[in-house]
Structure 1
Amino acid sequence: MNRRRFLAVGAGSAALLAAGGWWWSTQSGQPKRAALQTPAARVLITALIPAVVGQPDGKPLAGAELAAAADRMLATMAGLPLSAQDELGELFGLLDNSAFRRLAAGISTPWEQATPEALAQFLQSWRTHSLSLLQVGYHALHDLAAGSFYADPSTWGPTGYPGPHIQFS
C-alpha cells in the first residue's frame, strides 16, 4: 500500500467514525444509559469479566460465579451518577455495533464467541492506545469488571487476600 492510499483509507475511516458517532448521538431522545440494561450489555459484561480477572483459582470463571459478578457490575453501573451512566451507555452501545467492534476492538465475532485471548488483546490494545479516549474506555471497563468481581468476599480466598483488617486504637 502506498502512502497516498494509506492516507485516503485513514481519512475515510475517520470520516466514517465521525458519522457513526453523530448518528449514534441522534438516535433517540432517551438517555444513553438505557443501553446498560439490555441483554447485549449483559453479554458484553459476561465476556469481559473473565478476560479481566483471569483464572483466580486456576479454573475458568463461569456459571453462577460469573452471573453474580455480572449482576454486581450492572448494579454498580446503576449506582453511578447519571452522566457517568450515559457515558457508559454510549460506550456499550458502540461496542454492541458489529462494525465498531471490528474496527475499534479488533473482534470479528460476537462478544459471546470471542476467545479470552482475543478479549485480553482488545483490552491491552485500548490500555496502551495513543488515543486517550480509548484508554479511558479501557479503565472504565477494567475497573468496573475487576471491582465487581472482587467486591464479593468469596472471591478473596483464591487470590490470597485475607480480607480487610481494621484496627481501632
Structure 2
Amino acid sequence: MQRRQFIMLGLAAGATLATGLTLYPMFSEADKTQQQQNASLVLDALLPAILLGALPKTEAEQQQALQSTRQAVLDYLPFLPKRQQAELQQLFFLLSQQLTRLALTGHLLALGELSLEQRLQLLSSWRDSYLTLLQQAYNGLRELLLAAYYGQPAHWQALAYTAPEFRAYE
C-alpha cells in the first residue's frame, strides 16, 4: 500500500466514522425531550428571520410573539401526518448537530449564534437552491411558522381578518 492510499483510506474512514456517529441518534429512537430541545433550538433561531417584517415594534412584544409562535408550532407538531412529523424531526436534529449543520448551512456556528443577516442569507440560499430537499425544507418551515404566527387571534388584526360567526341552531 502506498503512502497516498494509506492517507486517503484513513481520511475516508475518519469521515465515515464521524458521519456515522453524528447520524446514529437520528436512526435510533430519540426521546421526546431531546426532540423538543432540537425543535426549540431551530425554531428560536429561524423564527426572527422568517417573521422579520411581521413582528411587533417593541422588544418585549417581539419576544412574546416569538415565544407564543414557538409554542404553537410545538403544540401543532403532533397533529401533522406521521411522515411530515418524521421529516421535521430529522431536519431539527440535523440542524442541531455540528457536522450536519455544516453540510446544510455552511456554518460551524449554531443557528442561534448566526447574525440575523446570515440567517436571512441561509434561508434565501435554501429557497433558491438547486437541491429540491433544501427548497422543501425552506418551504415547509416557512409555511409552518407563518401558519403558527398568523393562526393566533392576536395577529389577525394585522391581516384585517375577522373570524366567521356561525348561526346557532335552535
- Normalising by structure 1, we get a TM-score of 0.73
CA shift, 1:83, in A, is 2.2
Match of 1:49 among 47, 50, 53: 47
Match of 1:5 in 2: none
Alignment partner of 2:109: what SS?
coil
Query: Does 1:36 pair with 2:42?
Result: no
- Partner of 2:130, secondary structure, is coil
Structure 1 residue 108, shift from structure 2 partner:
3.2
Report the equivalent of 1:4: none
1:53–1:146 CA contact under 8 A, matched in 2: yes
Distance 1:132 1:23 in 2: 23
Q: How does 1:1-169 map to 2 (within 5 A)?
A: 20=19, 24=23, 28-30=27-29, 36-38=35-37, 40-56=38-54, 59=57, 62-158=62-158, 161-164=159-162, 166=164
Alpha carbons 1:33, 1:88 under 8 Å: kept: no
| Deviating 4+ runs (over 6 angstroms) | 31-34
Q: Which structure 2 residue ranges, 5 or more long, are not aligned?
A: 1-10
TM-score, L = length of structure 2: 0.73
Once the two structures are TM-superposed, the CA of residue 29 in structure 1 deviates from its matched residue by: 3.6
Write the letter of the residue equivalent to 1:103: A
Structure-2 change in CA distance of 1:28 and 1:106 (3 Å): closer
Structure-2 change in CA distance of 1:86 and 1:34 (3 Å): farther
User: Is the Cα–Cα contact under 8 Å of residues 69 and 148 in structure 2 kept in the other structure?
Assistant: yes
CA contact (8 A) 1:32 1:90 kept: no
Bigger-Rg structure (1/2): 2
Secondary structure of the residue aligned to 1:62 is helix
Runs (5+) with no aligned partner, structure 1 = 1-11
- SS of the aligned residue for 1:163 comes to coil
Offset of 1:91 from its aligned partner?
0.9
Is 1:46–1:70's contact at 8 Å kept on the other side of the alignment?
A: yes
Q: Which amino acid aligns with 2:139?
A: H
CA distance in 1 between partners of 2:46 and 2:26 (Å): 26
How far did residue 118 of structure 1 move? Answer: 1.0
The number of aligned residues is 151
Alpha-carbon distance change, 112 to 31 in structure 1, aligned in 2, over 3 angstroms: closer
> Share of identical aligned residues, percent?
26
* Displacement after TM superposition at 1:149 (Å): 1.0
